[in-house]
Structure 1
Amino acid sequence: MNTTYEVRIWSIETYEGQRGRTYRVRWRVAERRQKQVFKTKALAEGFRSELVTASRKGEAFDIETGYPISMRRDTAVMSWYDLACAFADMKWPHVAATTRRTHAEALTALTVLLLTNARGRPDGKLLRHALGRWAFNTPRRTADNVPEQVRKTLDWVQRNTRDVASLSRAEVLRPVLDGLTVRLDGAPAAPSVMGVCRFPCLGLWCDRDC
């Protein structure tokens, strides 16, 4: 979980739209701008007041969701990496070896796109090796003989992937889906990798015919 104390909260904005008047609460957490829209001014003022109170108390804010720690939703607690490992573990006993490899390739591609921090990021080749050969290989990840370099890489990934809740935001999910359509060299990605966006278990659905 990435948190910060760098928070700025703006005044409530009134917006006149085709569907009537709405009220917007805008604030910034670190460099990420956040916005919530309410139908009544009272609701907007109540929400803004909670943000201001948390900030004045010196409470840390979650960079991904924009909420103070006390307001974080339970769905935001699980990181993408933990969800991806759980998915691989669930599928592992019931699929063939070739399907396991396909899952590992697709989950590796997704995980790289969902990293949140460049500081301390492992080498790209090591990163993909650790994810594809260890993280999404249930017996190897849970074994006692995980190489030290791989273990440190996976620990870094676990600390630096987006929260699951962030995938509900279009501005987060759309670049991820776009990124799945190309390889590192710019060539089109394999259908088996792009197909992960239709895995209902992961909650990722693409509206394009890929």
Structure 2
Amino acid sequence: MTNGADSGSKQNNGLDPEGFSLDVRLWNVTKAQSKTRPYQLRWIVGGKVSSKTFATVALAGSRRSELWLAMKRGEAFRVKDGLPESEVRAATQAADPVDAREELSWFTFCREYMAMRWPTAAAKTRESIADGLAAVTLAMVEQDKQMPEVEELRLAFRWAVVPANAELDPPVEFEDAHRWLSKKSLFVSALEDPKILRDVQYRLSFKLDGTPAAGETSRRRRRALNTAVEYAIERKLLLENPLAGIKKVKVSSSDRVDPRVLVNKTQAAQLLAAVSYVGTWDRKKGRRLVAFFAVMYFAALRPSEAVGLRKSDCRLPEKGWGTLTLHDTHPVSGKQWTDSGERHDKRGLKSREAKDDRPVPIPPPLVAMLRAHLKEFGTAKDGRLFTNERLGLVGSSTYWRVWKDARDYALPPDLQASVLGGRPYDLRHTCITTWLNAGVPVAEVARRVGNSPEVIHRVYEGCIYGQEEAMNKKIEQELDWPL
């Protein structure tokens, strides 16, 4: 329960001087008797109880946050219905739609929107939404000489939009920036101002240092803003989507694979061998990750898929091809974005229904490597093949460091300085390219790697080579034209 101090009735702001009070007590969400709206929020204004029921606990929690923030801003509440003065003022304005719509600060709106999206969004999605809205927020605050540094505002915003932090005081390092966001945030309707909107577009397309953001980053931020704006329209904070009226900034596509990152067979063998030499031999830091990198090179697994691979997912015959049947993924996010509070968030496979799996045939060399790995290292308690030295989940920082050291061992100085195999993910790119150049149909490649054929075409179109002559012969045979 949260208490507000009683300072008597509200006497200004153009409101009815009777019936407003600062004596507000807000209760936690409780269960209600209704089957369709089973969650109830109760609060007391000037001794009178107000209540409302909701279909989900998230909606009830969001409304509670709204009321709590209004109390924190020092707003009086109307006794007869428990509404804060800002909502009463919006509801009592002229009948013109522009004047009658509700006004809400951008900062408060973002916190409400994140609370609404949180229960159904993956950790990476939550973080992505927060990043996009944080960029926009830099254009949605009053700017003067006393404004905190933009990086401080960004970090304070990302902390504040986590629903679990809604009723906590901000950390000391975020206090000034959080206070500024609370007091100097513009209304959501400011998005209709062309000058504000242009600044918003700049923030979507450029990094804090003024350099252009990657094309995918810009597109991801714009998607986050667009879905938030659609919600603002539902909330009647905006009449229409202001983004529809501005021309998108052209950004170069960055999702096509650079052929220079692909490793050949010899380089792949040297890199996997070098992995085994990373760390001291007795602690086996690198040796326990050789097969981890191998499933990316031979089976095109994403690192997040390899992290959670279990023995029960593997069919490893003594001879011939085997199969990996993937069921879930363990993407890495900040602890504040996951439900578990851990960096790895267990999710279903990317671009698939939660219960869908994905069988991937694996060649004999990988079968042999996985059998050898199991013989030497066994599995974790939950059956996972790959663990760190403490038998926990393999963190991204761990396998990145091992890969970096392996490149230093395996490659000459000129290639170390290049982009060749610069990221573990480049092993997946190499595998997919190998399959395409071997003549495996695009649809089959897409099925094995968990992408759509359209993505495979777009991303790998610059990596397919050596098939022109074979394709010409096939066309010539089909035509069979007399000369």
Q: What TM-score bracket applies, with the shorter chain setting the length? A: 0.5 to 0.7
1:194 matched to 2:219 = no
Task: Determine the structure 1 residue equivalent to 2:162.
Answer: 137
**Residues 181 and 174 of structure 1: is their aligned pair in 2 closer, same or farther, counting only changes over 3 Å?**
same
2:115 matches 1:89: yes
Q: Which amino acid aligns with 1:179?
A: R
**Aligned 8 A contact 1:113 1:176 in 2:** yes
- Number of aligned residues: 139
Give the structure 2 partner of residue 104 of structure 1.
130
Contact 1:180 1:194 in 2 (8 A): yes
Instruction: Letter of the 1:109 partner, please give it.
Output: A
Q: CA deviation at 1:204?
A: 5.2
What one-letter code is carried by the residue in structure 1 that aligns with 2:129? H
Paired amino acid for 1:159? K
Report the counterpart of residue 60 of structure 1 in structure 2. none
Inter-partner Cα distance in structure 1 for 2:195 and 2:156:
28
CA deviation vs aligned residue, 1:77-125 (integer Å, no higher than 9, x gap): 3111111111111101111111010011011001011121224212333
Q: Which amino acid aligns with 2:111?
A: C
Query: What is the CA–CA distance in structure 1 between the aligned matches of 2:182 and 2:150, rounded to whole Å?
Result: 16
CA separation of 1:74 and 1:162: change in aligned 2, threshold 3 A: farther
State the TM-score, normalizing by the size of structure 1: 0.56
Give the gaps of 5 or more residues in structure 1: 1-69
Once residues 169 and 203 of structure 2 are traced to their aligned partners in structure 1, the CA distance between those partners, rounded to angstroms, is: 33
Q: Deviations over 1:144-170 (max 9, x none)?
A: 353134244212112112112222233
Q: CA deviation at 1:76?
A: 6.2
For normalisation by structure 2, the TM-score amounts to: 0.26
Name the larger-Rg structure: 2
2:190 to 162, 166, 174: 166
The answer to whether the Cα contact below 8 Å between 1:197 and 1:204 also exists between their aligned partners in 2 is no
Alpha carbons of 1:198 and 1:74: their partners in 2 closer, same or farther (altered >3 Å)? same
Q: Which moved more, 1:91-100 or 1:161-170?
A: 161-170
2: distance between equivalents of 1:178 and 1:125?
16
1:77 and 1:101 map into 2 onto residues whose CA distance is: 26
Distance in structure 2 (CA, Å) of the matches to 1:82 and 1:144 = 15
Partner amino acid, structure 1, of 2:162 = N
Q: Distance in 1 between matches of 2:100 and 2:174?
A: 30
Deviations 1:17-47 (A, max 9, x none): xxxxxxxxxxxxxxxxxxxxxxxxxxxxxxx
Work out whether 1:150 is the aligned partner of 2:167.
no
By relative contact order (CA 8 Å, sep 6+), the higher-ranking structure is: 1
Change (3 A) 1:124 1:179: closer
The letter for the 2-side match of 1:136 is V
**1:74 shift after superposition:** 5.1
2:127 maps to a residue whose letter is R
Q: Which amino acid aligns with 1:205?
A: L
Identity of aligned residues (%): 22
Most deviating of 169-178 and 84-93: 169-178
- Label 1:144 to 1:178 Cα distance change in 2 as closer, same or farther (>3 A): closer
| 1:81–1:74 Cα change, 3 Å | farther
Shift of 1:143: 4.6
Kindly report which structure 2 residues correspond to 1:107-118, keeping only aligned pairs within 5 A, or say none.
107-118=133-144
Bigger fraction of residues in strand: 1
What SS does the corresponding residue of 1:198 show, helix, strand or coil?
helix
For residue 113 of structure 1, give the secondary structure of its aligned residue in structure 2: coil
Aligned ranges 1:1-210 → 2 under 5 Å: 73=99, 75=101, 77-132=103-158, 134-139=159-164, 141-144=165-168, 146-185=170-209, 186-189=211-214, 190=217, 191-199=219-227, 200-202=230-232, 203=241, 205-206=243-244, 207-208=247-248
**In structure 1, how many angstroms separate the alpha carbons of the residues matched to 2:102 and 2:206?**
28
Amino acid at match of 1:188: A
Question: 2:104 & 2:220 partners in 1: Cα distance?
Answer: 26
Is the Cα contact below 8 Å between 1:79 and 1:161 reproduced in 2?
A: yes
Q: Which amino acid aligns with 2:213?
A: P
CA distance in 1, matches of 2:161, 2:186: 17
- C-alpha RMSD over aligned residues: 2.7
Q: AA paired with 1:112?
A: L
Partners in 2 of 1:89 and 1:106 — Cα distance? 16
* Cα offset, 1:196, TM superposition: 2.5
Q: Is the 8 A contact 1:198 1:204 kept in 2?
A: no
Q: Distance in 2 between matches of 1:75 and 1:152?
A: 31
Q: 1:122 to 1:198 in 2, by over 3 A?
A: same
Distance 1:154 1:74 in 2: 29
